[in-house]
A and B are shown apart, each in its own frame.
Chain A
Amino acid sequence: MTSIRNIMSAEIRAQFYWLKNNKVMMVMTLLWPYLMVFIMISFGSAFGSLEEFKEKMGVASPILYLFAGSAVATASISVIDNAAGVATWHRWLGTLPYVLLVPRRFVTYLLVSSLVTSLVQVTFNLASIAPAVVVLEGASAGFQLLLVLGFMFIGTLPLLGIALLGGIASLLASEESDIINFLNPLILLLSGVFYPVKILPWILEQASYYIPTKYVVDAAKLAATYTYPPGSTVIIILYALVLLAVLYNVIGVSSTIYAERELRRRGVR
């Protein structure tokens, strides 16, 4: 049986080869979080001055928040794109039958593969903005960014469960569905990364509590406010993320096991 280590190694190498062989894409990936910073500044300018932005978003260091928040947003998009898209991507390439032939359950392959590609992308997104944060806010801000990276890693776990559901739905849909592209705007809308969730209608504000990215955004706000964030708040965020990780992954894994059976009934293409 193929070991999990082998699957991880295969995916890390594939990511590396992919970036090495697509240099323009690599540069674009590095620039992407900066593009997101400008989008956030544009959104933020709707609030008025930087001081007003600080006050309304509830952060002490708006510059650090802008960078950390943009990294969280891009990382969240990357996780959904990579994890939800992996199965559909394999089908487009014609590699789906060959990954299904791995002597291991498909759900194990999907989870490990998605986790690895997501973590690589998250690290990439945060690493790309790290130099700008250190230059503008100093070395201590770099440490706070590491804190955000840690939360983003944990935030990746519940996002994976959501992504599995999206990916499986796309794979089983009879037509080439756009389910994955629907997930990203929905998650960003409810994450509160561009504006406080308080300004959303009540129902959407309630829904935002079920979105893992919201808690990572909260962590980014903490990092942009305190050098040493209060332990109780950190624990609440961690607790919420772990709870959501369990919830979404139980649903995601069960759905993937069903989807594997359904795929084999229909025949893998």
Chain B
Amino acid sequence: MGKVYTVAEADAAIVAESLEKTYYKGSFPRRTPAVKALRGLSFKVRRGEVYGLLGPNGAGKTTTVKIISTLMVPDSGEAYVSGYNVVSEFAEVRKRIGVMLSVERGFFWKLTGRENLRYFGLLYGLSGRELEERIDSSLETVGLRELGGGSKFFEDMSLGMRARLGLARVLLRDPEIMILDEPTLGLDPHSARHIRRLLRLEARNGKTVLVTTHNMFEAEILCDRVGIIRSGRVIAEGTPGELKGLVSRSTPITVLLKTFDEPSLQELVARLSRDDVRVDYERVEPGKWRLSLLVPRGLEDEVLAEVYVKARALSLKVLETRVREVTLEDVFIALTGGDTGKVG
């Protein structure tokens, strides 16, 4: 039987409540907990919206997707899709969802795009003329028809074409809810943009889309609402605008530095970090580094002066400094840390 909704949940397509999941290593009787992937994760996805689960690697995004897709059972907590429990009513859930888990795999290598779709279409209950029409329209929608993807073996397809075929399989069933795990991972910008445009279009046509990503830019332009996950919990949720508001009292500053001496750079980061100043760094190219600082409003000049003085003291050359508008990436950096959820 479907779940009895509360008024607040009436427009919810997906509800996850206090989900917990621990992965174990070793085999019986010497099984020991290895990773606590989810620690009371909760979120709701409204009908017709694109909801993004944003988090660093190991935050619990894929585990969440697998539980919502009925491919994994949580240790505790509950999840509902269209009011059906993902554990006890998994058959009902499966009728309503289209799932894409991996861009690279998931099809028969020696079958063409069309043959693969025909196989999965039959398994998902389609047949005859309806199946052929759905194959045609989904190939058309994802742009594989013009690329000849229907007659190409899966093994000969580029990563971009494989992602499109994965999406075509999702669309084949015309599901109420689309669940996609990192659908643009590893794709070239053109293919990634195409996939994002398609997902927005599907949401406009009334479908609900749950998508995971660790791409901030993608979350910002694709999602109506975003849930930021860290260590198996949703630590912030809202529209990209609302989330940016969480750090509105801060100003992001980018500093480009030239050095081949990484320990000195780490020393600079340590010297600049304070309770009210968050500092992160990444390598842009060999010998070139980008510092990202989040500083309280009004202290920009003071912090910048500090950067110049401390960098010179460590013989690091400042190439460029830039004061920016807040992006979702700044929110993400401000809210997440390096915790990957390892137990003990």
Interface 0/1 of B23-40, CB less than 8 Å to A: 100010000000000000
Q: Is A21 an interface residue (CB 8 A)?
A: yes
Q: Is the CB of A101 within 8 A of B70?
A: yes
Q: Is the CB of A103 within 8 A of B99?
A: no
Q: Is B91 an interface residue (CB 8 A)?
A: yes
- B166: nearest residue on chain A (CB-CB)? A98
Q: Is the CB of B119 within 8 A of A14?
A: yes
Which residues of B are found within 8 Å of A189, using beta-carbon distances? none
Which residues of A are found within 8 Å of B287, using beta-carbon distances? none
11 further A-B pairs in the complex, CB-CB below 8 A; given A93-B107, A100-B71: A1-B125, A17-B110, A94-B102, A95-B108, A97-B101, A98-B120, A103-B95, A103-B124, A103-B125, A264-B70, A264-B73
Tell me the smallest distance from the CB of A1 to a CB of chain B, in Å.
7
- B100: nearest residue on chain A (CB-CB)? A98
- B90: nearest residue on chain A (CB-CB)? A264
14 residue pairs bridging A and B, Cβ less than 8 Å apart: A2-B125, A7-B122, A13-B122, A14-B119, A21-B153, A93-B106, A93-B109, A94-B102, A94-B104, A95-B107, A101-B97, A103-B95, A103-B125, A264-B70
Tell me the smallest distance from the CB of A100 to a CB of chain B, in Å.
6
Q: Is the CB of B110 within 8 A of A21?
A: yes
- Give Cα A100–Cα B120 distance, bound, in whole angstroms: 11
Known: A6-B122, A13-B115. A94 touches B106 (CB 8 A): yes
Tell me the smallest distance from the CB of B239 to a CB of chain A, in Å.
31
Interface 0/1 of A1-40, CB less than 8 Å to B: 1110011011001100110011000000000000000000
A residues 224-269 touching B (CB-CB < 8 Å): 261, 264-268
Which residues of B are found within 8 Å of A22, using beta-carbon distances? 110
Q: Is the CB of B72 within 8 A of A13?
A: no
B122 contacts which of A1, A9, A100, A103 (Cβ < 8 Å)?
A: A9
Q: Is the CB of B106 within 8 A of A3?
A: no
Q: Is the CB of B123 within 8 A of A95?
A: no
- Give Cα A187–Cα B145 distance, bound, in whole angstroms: 48
- Give Cα A66–Cα B288 distance, bound, in whole angstroms: 74
Known: A13-B118, A13-B122. A97 touches B111 (CB 8 A): no
Q: Is the CB of A268 within 8 A of B123?
A: no
B124 contacts which of A17, A21, A102 (Cβ < 8 Å)?
A: A102
Tell me the smallest distance from the CB of B162 to a CB of chain A, in Å.
11
- Give Cα A104–Cα B153 distance, bound, in whole angstroms: 28
- Give Cα A116–Cα B179 distance, bound, in whole angstroms: 31
- B126: nearest residue on chain A (CB-CB)? A6
- Give Cα A93–Cα B120 distance, bound, in whole angstroms: 14
Q: Is the CB of B120 within 8 A of A267?
A: no
Q: Is B292 an interface residue (CB 8 A)?
A: no
- Give Cα A100–Cα B97 distance, bound, in whole angstroms: 13
Q: Is B105 an interface residue (CB 8 A)?
A: yes
Q: Is B127 an interface residue (CB 8 A)?
A: yes
Which residues of A are found within 8 Å of B70, using beta-carbon distances? 101, 264
Q: Is A99 an interface residue (CB 8 A)?
A: yes
Q: Is A49 an interface residue (CB 8 A)?
A: no
Q: Is the CB of A98 within 8 A of B108?
A: no
Q: Indicate the size class of the contact surface on chain B.
A: 35 or more
Which residues of A are found within 8 Å of B110, using beta-carbon distances? 17-18, 21-22
Q: Is B46 an interface residue (CB 8 A)?
A: no
Which residues of B are found within 8 Å of A97, using beta-carbon distances? 69, 71, 99, 101, 106
A residues 91-123 touching B (CB-CB < 8 Å): 93-95, 97-104, 109
Which residues of B are found within 8 Å of A264, using beta-carbon distances? 70-73
Which residues of B are found within 8 Å of A10, using beta-carbon distances? 118-120, 122-123
Interface 0/1 of B138-159, CB less than 8 Å to A: 0000000000000001000000
Q: Is B44 an interface residue (CB 8 A)?
A: no
Q: Is the CB of B123 within 8 A of A2?
A: yes
- Give Cα A200–Cα B111 distance, bound, in whole angstroms: 45
Which residues of A are found within 8 Å of B97, using beta-carbon distances? 101
Known: A93-B106, A94-B105, A174-B27. A6 touches B111 (CB 8 A): no
Which residues of A are found within 8 Å of B104, using beta-carbon distances? 94
Tell me the smallest distance from the CB of A35 to a CB of chain B, in Å.
23
Tell me the smallest distance from the CB of B102 to a CB of chain A, in Å.
6
Q: Is the CB of A18 within 8 A of B101?
A: no
- Give Cα A7–Cα B124 distance, bound, in whole angstroms: 9
Which residues of A are found within 8 Å of B23, using beta-carbon distances? 267
Q: Is the CB of B106 within 8 A of A95?
A: yes
B residues 259-279 touching A (CB-CB < 8 Å): none
The 3 closest A-B pairs by CB, nearest first: A94-B105, A10-B122, A267-B72
Q: Is B169 an interface residue (CB 8 A)?
A: yes
Tell me the smallest distance from the CB of A268 to a CB of chain B, in Å.
4
Which residues of A are found within 8 Å of B123, using beta-carbon distances? 2, 6-7, 10, 98-99, 102, 109
- Give Cα A95–Cα B63 distance, bound, in whole angstroms: 18
Q: Is the CB of B127 within 8 A of A6?
A: yes
Q: Is the CB of B73 within 8 A of A265?
A: yes
B residues 80-102 touching A (CB-CB < 8 Å): 91, 94-95, 97, 99, 101-102
Q: Is the CB of A14 within 8 A of B108?
A: yes
- Give Cα A102–Cα B118 distance, bound, in whole angstroms: 14
Q: Is the CB of B66 within 8 A of A268?
A: yes
- Give Cα A100–Cα B101 distance, bound, in whole angstroms: 13
